[in-house]
Amino acid sequence: MNVARLRALLEPVLTDRGLELDDLVVVGAGARSVLRITVDGDGPQGRGPLLDEVADATRAVSDALDASEETGSQPYVLEVSSRGVGAPLAKPAHWRRNLGRLVAVTLTDGTKLTGRITATSDDDATLVVDGSPQTVSYGDVKRAVVQVELNRPRDPDIDDDFDTEE
């Protein structure tokens, strides 16, 4: 399977659903191939795609692949998923979609920071590190990953507005 042609086929299918093709990998697995597609997008609240959106995209991708000649007669397994919380923040949109979250950042000079994203732009992000705001240029970031917080305080500006008590 030609990855470039698969990308060209699938990007418009995902764009029509308000999603982006984040990654596409074809892996040989015995007599079959595994076609792994990772999607991203703003979703209804600007925080990434919802499960229903990924499910809809999976059906649309499957239909597009079935209707094309790109997969040939070779059997394959299709896997479509969102980026996931462990995926590195590599684009300004990744930072924006994680506004309010705690991130661990390694800068190109080796400095390590852990802070909460409070603002983003096309060029940098502002983190609150140990109570003080610090602006980090994306060009200075070697790696940044969201930290999972099981007991993060609820932030009404970014969290879903629902009542947990009945």
Top-level class of domain 3-82: alpha beta
Q: pLDDT digits over 35-66, tens only?
A: 999 999 998 888 889 999 999 999 999 999 99
- In the prediction, which pLDDT does 162 show? 45
* Pair 45, 31: CB distance under 8 Å: no
Domain boundaries, the chain: 3-82, 88-166
Is the Cα torsion angle 48, 52, 58, 63 positive or negative in sign? negative
Q: Which fold has domain 88-166?
A: SH3 type barrels. (2.30.30)
- In the prediction, which pLDDT does 160 show? 58
Mean pLDDT of 147-151: 85
- In the prediction, which pLDDT does 108 show? 96
Output helix, strand, coil percentages for the chain, rounded to the nearest 5: 25, 35, 40
pLDDT band at residue 165 under the 50/70/90 scheme: very low
Mean pLDDT of 125-152: 93
Name which of 2-16, 120-134, 152-166 the model is least confident about.
Answer: 152-166
The DSSP H or E segment spanning 34 is: strand 32-40
